Structure 1
Amino acid sequence: MNASTEFFEPTTYITRDCLVVPINQELSIKNALHIQRLLLQEVAIKKPVGAIIDLSGVCIVDSALWQVFYQTAKMIQTQGYACVFAGLSPAVVVAIIELDVNTENVNFALQLESALEMLVNK
Structure 2
Amino acid sequence: MKEAIQVHYLEIVTSDVERICASYSQTLGVSFGNPIAELGGARTAVLTSGGTLGVREPMHDAELPTTRPYYLVEDIEKSVIEAERSGAEIAVPPMVIPGRGKCAIVMFGVVQSGFWQI
* Shorter-normalised TM range: under 0.3
More helix by share: 1
Provide TM-score, normalisation by structure 2.
Answer: 0.28
More strand by share: 2
Provide TM-score, normalisation by structure 1.
Answer: 0.27
Which structure has the greater CA radius of gyration? 2
